[in-house]
């Protein structure tokens, strides 16, 4: 019975993680870049949600404030993601001009790391390390179900976006051949920006849902969830949207099950170990395609 | 004067200076005379340790072009190993105050142990991971560093541990840190002699690596792995060996850190988090990955700013400032500035301060190898060499000439590497 | 097949007058001077070929015309318009389409999705459907496989798809980069026959080819490139009989 509860909790937790994983996987799919700053967008999204929900009149009309705050936070987070891309990643692409050797691949990594550190400490400066509580707008029993349902709806919508719209086609084209995509008249810069925006919006939503069911907001909250989401994306097959979902749920369930054992403090150790094993044994992940590993 | 004699004399001079610094030949230690303030001494020693870290990371990040973001893990492994060895030897030597004479027994063993164990872990991590591409390798290195830290930090120290492994981990003190076998602190055997000595040796080794056929092969690998492997440079072998060397260097730094004069008496897992790995990366990149001088400058610079902030926090004026603005975390500010500078560097000047250049030019190498003797003690006239040209060109024309000359350089380095490598 | 696109005016240049003019074009990248000042023109309705050894600069020329590479000096003029400030993404709106070297199809998308992407103005669905029908008539093998994932097509079929996809934009001018490279000889013949029919319909073609014999057979005029410069030019028939050309590129 305990195990069943843990699994259910894990699925709920996992669907929230999956929302963040989607952002990692989408950006990696299109740019072959690990956007380390993504976990910080998750965290900022939660902060935005907190301030905006309060700002929209939490006491007078909680329902409205909650929904409006969430949507506004998603928009802000999307803008933040686009800003990060424009400021830090786009200039590197322009400079490397499509060449790809070790030097051009390390620089984006360092930049991504730098962005992550920057955002995290910026939040620390602006908001202090204080833990704040998020307004509990959802009744506790329903919180989990709502999180799960929202996550599922989002994923279906995303799947439709990628496979059923022209923009999605353009995204998939850019992810395999940027030059050819340009020849088709596709504004690749815009496609890449929009990918960041979409991923960031999902991360913000994930952050808000996380706070609605777990309730505390603090500048380093992105680190743990970000790491888990990233691992989830890799396990599921980075670049694959269904993979991100599957990975997220798996990580969520593993996490909850681990809490039942005496090794609960080692949750992250287990998660890292799983990551390393997957990368060594099957780097393309569960649902990823085993492609030619470009050096 | 023949080169050998000159080398021996210089080495002897250096050794005498170092001994003077540590022991003063019976009078008060030279180091204390030069720097009466303990805080400054701590800063300098810590900076030297960071330089060793930067030099070691430079081998893998800079010269080989592989991205490791878990370097703090190897430093930590070295630190714990060193602390264990120093602590137990100290007990055997009768406890009490660490004697300089005894340090000649303890420190070599400490350094050997920390370097070797860290190197072993480096092999363990590197062997399976180095065939992964850049971003994945970075994540794996981070993962290993975190696993190491978490395993030690979450060990059940309350005496409830079962099994020899758990008991051993518990004895390392968990989150509070390891304070030696008798719990009264890790004995501090690493004074200026050992620390400055290690920095000098590390610099020489790094210099030697960079300007050898081996180093050229690494650079060829970094420029174009496929081309390099096509001419017989086995990428995985070179990457793994560089990784192991880097890990060993980090381990040695950790051993020094654990047992440092005026340092912290405990070895704590919180000293080896991602923040420290990020600082190490900053040191290498700021200075210029691939440049030995750059690693040194970067190491000193980062240490100074870190410690400076600590000192500043103690100043009255700053305390007043903080009283007015209690929420401003100076460390967070430092990280924001660092990160911004790093990002700016990547966009505007990714080669860092020095690029691949060095402060001291090396002499023209003889055929088939490099000039092994240290140039650090003297500026030498150097005749321009074509490889040197591409390394020393100014950043402005580096963009346009880099690919062309590096293409030439790559083919040249490949032919030389073929001859001198393996 | 029709080549005018309803959303784009027809070219101003008359048949037989220059549609594309390249004037003293120089291109350098990576410190290497790839093109040292070449000049050529393509008249409306012509097939013009660029031949020469590997590395002579043929692909560089096409890519620069397609604005994938920056111009160091010189001018490219299409239908009276300077292409210098035009970006690669906008080029298709002017009616110039490049079929890149190596096909450049999207292997993860289906054949139909590839074609749909080629039709740059994706809002006019009827035009897309109509164009797809015409393109499929030209390349029946593609038509049989519209639902197939493009990565599973053979090399020759992928080349056909690449050309078909470029045609979806209804270009007035088609740039073809090494269509025969790595393709089985029988399919090569089919492809070139299709190219001939495309030209007959009125599309102007600039063709880069390693296979000198085919290039000279199907084109009206040709330019010979050597290390970034035009070494020779003239009517393809005359070039095919030229002793130097025969020795260098046609196996004596």
Inter-chain CB proximity A102 and B65 less than 8 Å? yes
CB B174 within 8 A of CB B152: yes
pLDDT, averaged across chain A: 86
In words, the CATH class of domain B35-348 is mainly alpha
Range B42-54 average pLDDT? 90
pLDDT at B387: 35
Residues 25-84 of B with CB under 8 A from A: 61, 65-67, 69
Question: Quick one: which of A196, A194, A226 has its CA closest to A39?
Answer: A226
pLDDT at residue B101 in the model:
75
Contact A235, A18 (CB under 8 A): no
Is the Cα torsion angle C30, C32, C36, C40 positive or negative in sign? negative
Domains and CATH numbers, chain C: 32-249 (3.40.50.300)
Of A61, A13, A7, give the one whose Cα is nearest residue A212: A13
B112 has pLDDT over 90: yes
Q: Chain A contact for B278, CB < 8 A?
A: yes
Residue with tokens 């000359």: B405
**Token pair belonging to B168:** 């051993």
- Reported as a pLDDT band with limits 50, 70 and 90, residue B33 is confident
A188 contacts chain C (CB < 8 A): yes
**Which chains, if any, share at least 3 CB pairs under 8 A with chain C?**
A, B
How much is the pLDDT for B378? Answer: 32
Highest mean pLDDT among A64-78, A105-119, B221-235, B355-369: A64-78
Q: What is the mean pLDDT of residues B223-239?
A: 79
Q: Average pLDDT, stretch B72-97?
A: 87
Question: Is the Cα dihedral C59, C61, C62, C63 positive or negative?
Answer: positive
Q: CB under 8 Å to B173, separation ≥6 — which residues? A: B157, B179, B266, B267, B268
C195 compared with B233, residue with greater pLDDT = C195
At residue B279's C-alpha, the angle toward residues B277 and B283, to 5°, is: 115
Which three-class secondary structure string do you get for chain B?
A: CCHHHHHHHHHHHHHHHHHHHHHHHHCCCHHHHHCCCHHHHHHHHHHHHHHHHHHHHHHHHHHCCCCCCCHHHHHHHHHHHHHHHHHHHHHHCCCCCCCHHHHHHHHHHHHHHHHHHHHHHHHHHHHHHCCCCHHHHHHHHHHHHHHHHHHHHCCCCCCCCCCHHHHHHHHCCHHHCECCCCCCCCCCCECHHHHHHHHHHHHHHHHHHHCCHHHHHHHHHHHCHHHHHHCCCCHHHHHHHHHHHHHHHHHHHHHHHHCECCCCCCECHHHHCHHHHHHHHHHHHHHCCCCHHHHHHHHHHHHHHHHHHHHHHHCHHHHHHHHHCCCCCHHHHHHHHHHHHHHHHHHHCCCCCCCCCCCCCCCCCCCCCCCCCCCCCCCCCCCCCHHHHHHHCCHHHHHHHHHHHHHHHHHHHHHHHHHHCC
Pair B304, B289: CB distance under 8 Å:
no
CA distance B106 to B86: 6
Q: Which of B146-155, B212-221, C56-65 is predicted least confidently?
A: B212-221
Q: Which residue of A has its CA nearest to B403?
A: A99
Which residue in the block uniquely carries the two structure tokens 């395999």? A176
Alpha carbon separation from B41 to B190, B191, B261 (Å, rounded): 13, 10, 9
Do C68 and A182 lie within an 8 Å CB cutoff? yes
Torsion, CA B8, CA B12, CA B15, CA B20, rounded to 10: -170
Contacts of C77 (CB under 8 A, 6+ apart): C20, C21, C22, C23, C83
Residue B25: HSE in the Cβ half-sphere, 13 Å Cα cutoff: 5
Predicted confidence band of residue B291 (pLDDT cuts 50, 70, 90): confident
Partners of B368 in the beta sheet? none
- Å from C31 to nearest chain B CA? 5
**Residue B413 in this model has a pLDDT that exceeds 60:** no
Task: Choose, out of B403, B408, B409, B410, the residue to mutate when testing the contact with C (most C CBs < 10 Å).
Answer: B403
Taking Cα atoms as reference points, which of C222, C234, C204 lies closest to residue C12? C204
> Would an 8 Å CB–CB cutoff place C32 in contact with chain B?
yes
Q: Which of A66-80, A267-281, B82-96 has the highest mean pLDDT?
A: A66-80
CB atoms B150 and A109 under 8 Å: no
What pLDDT is recorded for position B403?
A: 37
Pull the structure tokens for residue B62. Answer: 């800079």
Q: Looking at residues A61-88, what average pLDDT do you find? A: 91
Q: Using CB atoms, pick whichever of B69, B332, B346 lies closest to residue A107.
A: B346
Comparing B416 with B216, which gets the higher pLDDT?
Answer: B216
Position B328 scores a pLDDT of: 66
Residue B164: CB atoms within 10 Å: 8
More confident position, B188 or A82: A82
Q: Are B274 and A268 in contact (CB under 8 A)?
A: no
Contact B95, B182 (CB under 8 A): yes
Asked if the model's pLDDT at residue B384 lies above 80, the reply is: no
Q: How far apart are the first and last CA of chain C?
A: 39
Q: Per-residue confidence of chain C (252 residues) as pLDDT tens digits?
A: 666 777 788 888 888 889 999 999 999 877 788 899 999 999 999 999 999 888 888 999 999 999 999 999 999 999 989 999 999 999 998 999 999 998 899 999 999 999 999 987 777 888 888 889 989 999 999 999 999 999 999 989 999 999 999 999 999 999 999 999 888 888 898 999 999 999 998 899 999 998 888 999 999 999 999 988 999 999 998 888 888 888 887 764
Taking contacts as CB-CB distances below 8 angstroms, the residues of chain A near C89 are: 182, 185-188
CB contact under 8 A, A114 and B339: yes
pLDDT category, B246, cuts 50, 70, 90? very high
Report pLDDT digits (tens) over B297-345.
Answer: 889 988 888 877 777 766 666 666 666 666 567 778 888 888 998 888 8
Closest CB to A118: pick one of B134, B226, B343: B343
Chain C residues with CB inside 8 Å of B403's CB?
Answer: 30-32
Cβ of A183 within 8 Å of Cβ of C97? The answer is: yes
Retrieve residue A174's tokens: 């850019």
Q: Are A248 and A236 in contact (CB under 8 A)?
A: yes
From A97, A166, A179, residue closest to C100, measured CB to CB: A179
> What dihedral angle (degrees, nearest 10) is formed by the CA atoms of C193, C196, C202, C204?
120
Subunits with 3+ C-beta pairs closer than 8 A to A? B, C
Query: In whole numbers, what is the pLDDT of chain B averaged over residues?
Result: 76
- Predicted confidence band at A56 (pLDDT cuts at 50, 70, 90)? confident
Can you tell me whether residue A224 is helix, strand or coil?
helix
Which of A95, A114, A247, A294 is most worth mutating to test chain B (most B CB atoms within 10 A of its CB)? A114
Alpha-carbon Rg for chain B, nearest whole angstrom, is: 22
Residue B369, pLDDT > 60, answer no
**By the CB < 8 Å criterion, does B104 face chain A?**
no
Task: Label residue A17 by pLDDT band (50, 70, 90).
Answer: very high
pLDDT of residue B365: 44
Neighbours of A107 (CB within 10 A): 19
Q: Give phi and psi for A247, each to the nearest 5.
A: -60, -45
C32: nearest CA partner in chain B: B404
B175: its two tokens: 């989150």
Report percent pLDDT > 70 for chain B.
78
3-state SS, chain C, equals CCCCCCCCCCCCCCECCEEEEEEEEEEEECCEEEEEEEEEEEEECCEEEEEECCCCCHHHHHHHHCCCCCCCEEEEEECCEECCCCCHHHHHHHCEEEECCCCCCCCCCEHHHHHHHHCCCCCCHHHHHHHHHHHHHHCHHHHCCCCCEHHHCCHHHHHHHHHHHHHCCCCCEEEEECCCCCCCHHHHHHHHHHHHHHHHCCCEEEEECCCHHHHHHHCCEEEEEECCEEEEEEEHHHHHHCHHHHHHHCCC
Burial group, residue B360, by CB count within 10 angstroms (0-12, 13-18, 19+):
middle
Q: Which of B66, B277, B144, B139 is nearest to A231 (CA)?
A: B139
Confidence check: pLDDT of A205 > 70? yes
Contact at CB, A273 and B281, closer than 8 angstroms: no
Does pTM top 0.80 for this prediction?
Answer: yes
Mutate to test the interface with C, among A95, A104, A180 (most CBs of C within 10 A): A180
Average pLDDT over residues A116-139: 85
pLDDT of res. B319: 66
- Residue B280, pLDDT above cutoff 50: yes
Average pLDDT for residues A141-152, to the nearest whole number? 81
Distance CA C26, CA C74 (A): 6
In the predicted model, what is the mean pLDDT of residues A86-112? Answer: 75
| Residue C122 with chain A: CB contacts under 8 Å | 166
């Amino acid at each position: 019975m305990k195990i069943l509860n843990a699994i259910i909790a894990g699925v709920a937790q996992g669907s929230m993680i999956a929302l963040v994983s989607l952002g990692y996987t989408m950006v990696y799919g299109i740019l072959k870049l690990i956007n380390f700053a993504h976990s910080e967008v998750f965290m900022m999204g939660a902060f935005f949600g907190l301030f905006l929900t309060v700002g929209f009149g939490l006491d007078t009309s909680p329902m409205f404030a909650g929904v409006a705050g969430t949507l506004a936070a998603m928009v802000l987070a999307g803008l933040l993601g686009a800003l990060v891309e424009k400021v830090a990643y786009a200039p590197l692409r322009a400079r490397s001009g499509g060449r790809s050797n070790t030097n051009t691949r390390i620089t984006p990594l360092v930049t991504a790391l730098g962005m992550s550190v920057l955002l995290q400490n910026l939040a620390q400066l602006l908001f202090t390390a204080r833990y704040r509580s998020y307004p509990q707008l959802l009744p506790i029993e329903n919180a989990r179900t709502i999180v799960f349902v929202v996550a599922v709806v989002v994923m279906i919508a995303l799947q439709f976006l990628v496979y059923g719209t022209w923009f999605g086609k353009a995204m998939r084209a850019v992810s395999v051949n940027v030059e050819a995509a340009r020849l088709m008249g596709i504004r690749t810069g815009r496609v890449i920006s929009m990918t960041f925006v979409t991923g960031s919006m999902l991360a913000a939503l994930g952050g808000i849902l996380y706070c609605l069911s777990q309730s505390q907001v603090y500048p380093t909250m992105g680190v743990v969830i970000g790491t888990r989401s990233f691992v989830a994306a890799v396990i599921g097959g980075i670049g694959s949207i269904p993979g991100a979902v599957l990975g997220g749920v798996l990580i969520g369930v593993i996490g909850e099950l681990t809490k039942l054992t005496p090794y609960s403090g080692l949750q992250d150790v287990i998660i890292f170990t799983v990551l390393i094993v997957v990368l060594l044994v099957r780097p393309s992940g569960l649902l990823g395609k085993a492609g030619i590993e470009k050096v | 004067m023949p080169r050998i004699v000159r080398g021996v004399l210089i080495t002897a001079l250096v050794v005498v200076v170092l001994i003077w610094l540590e022991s003063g030949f019976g009078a008060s230690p030279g180091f204390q005379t030069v720097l009466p303030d303990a805080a400054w001494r701590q800063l300098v020693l810590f900076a030297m340790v960071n330089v060793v870290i930067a030099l070691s990371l430079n081998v893998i990040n800079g010269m080989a072009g592989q991205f490791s973001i878990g370097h703090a893990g190897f430093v930590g492994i070295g630190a714990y190993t060193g602390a264990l060895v120093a602590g137990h030897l100290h007990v055997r030597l009768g406890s009490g105050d660490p004697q300089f004479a005894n340090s000649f027994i303890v420190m070599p063993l400490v350094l050997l142990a920390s370097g070797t164990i860290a190197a072993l872990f480096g092999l363990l991590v590197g062997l399976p991971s180095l065939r992964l591409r850049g971003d994945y390798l970075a994540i794996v290195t981070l993962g290993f560093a975190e696993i190491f830290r978490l395993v030690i930090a979450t060990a059940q120290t309350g005496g409830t541990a079962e099994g020899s492994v758990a008991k051993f981990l518990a004895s390392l003190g968990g989150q509070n840190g390891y304070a030696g076998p008798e719990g009264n602190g890790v004995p501090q055997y690493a004074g200026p002699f050992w620390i400055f000595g290690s920095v000098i040796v590390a610099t020489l080794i790094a210099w030697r690596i960079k300007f050898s056929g081996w180093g050229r092969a690494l650079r060829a690998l970094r420029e174009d792995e496929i081309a390099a492997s096509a001419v017989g440079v086995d990428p995985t072998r070179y990457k793994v060996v560089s990784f192991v060397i880097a890990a060993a260097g980090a381990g040695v730094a950790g051993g020094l850190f654990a047992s440092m004069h005026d340092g912290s008496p405990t070895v704590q897992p919180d000293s080896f988090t991602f923040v420290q790995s990020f600082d190490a990366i900053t040191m290498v990149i700021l200075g210029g990955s691939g440049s030995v001088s750059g690693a040194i400058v970067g190491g000193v610079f980062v240490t100074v700013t870190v410690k400076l902030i600590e000192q500043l926090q103690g100043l009255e004026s700053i305390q007043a400032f903080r009283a007015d603005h209690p929420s401003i975390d100076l460390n967070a500010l430092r990280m924001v500035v660092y990160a911004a500078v790093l990002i700016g560097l990547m966009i505007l000047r990714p080669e860092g301060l020095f690029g691949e250049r060095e402060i001291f030019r090396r002499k023209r190498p003889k055929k088939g190898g490099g000039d092994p003797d240290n140039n650090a003690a003297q500026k030498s006239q150097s005749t321009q060499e074509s490889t040197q040209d591409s390394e020393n060109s100014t950043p402005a024309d580096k963009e346009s000439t880099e690919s062309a000359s590096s293409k030439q350089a790559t083919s040249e380095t490949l032919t030389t590497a073929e001859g001198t490598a393996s | 097949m029709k080549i005018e696109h309803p959303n784009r005016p027809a070219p101003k240049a008359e048949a037989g007058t220059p549609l594309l003019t390249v004037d003293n074009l120089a291109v350098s990248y990576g410190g290497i001077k790839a093109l040292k000042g070449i000049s050529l023109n393509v008249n409306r309705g012509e097939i013009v070929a660029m031949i020469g050894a590997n590395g002579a600069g043929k692909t560089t020329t096409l890519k620069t015309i397609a604005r994938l590479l920056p111009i160091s000096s010189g001018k490219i003029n299409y239908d009276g318009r300077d292409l210098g400030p035009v970006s690669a993404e906008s080029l298709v709106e002017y009616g110039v389409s490049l079929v890149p070297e190596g096909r450049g199809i999207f292997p993860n998308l289906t054949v139909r999705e590839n074609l749909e992407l080629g039709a740059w103005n994706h809002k006019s669905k009827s035009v897309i459907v109509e164009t797809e029908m015409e393109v499929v008539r030209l390349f029946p093998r593609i038509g049989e496989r519209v639902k197939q994932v493009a990565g599973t097509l053979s090399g020759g079929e992928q080349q056909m798809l690449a050309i078909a996809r470029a045609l979806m934009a209804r270009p007035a001018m088609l740039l073809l980069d090494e269509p025969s490279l790595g393709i089985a000889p029988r399919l090569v013949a089919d492809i070139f026959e299709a190219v001939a029919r495309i030209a007959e319909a009125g599309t102007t073609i600039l063709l880069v080819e390693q296979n000198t014999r085919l290039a000279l057979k199907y084109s009206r005029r040709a330019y010979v490139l050597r290390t970034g410069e035009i070494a020779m030019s003239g009517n393809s028939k005359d070039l095919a009989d030229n002793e130097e050309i025969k020795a260098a590129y046609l196996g004596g």
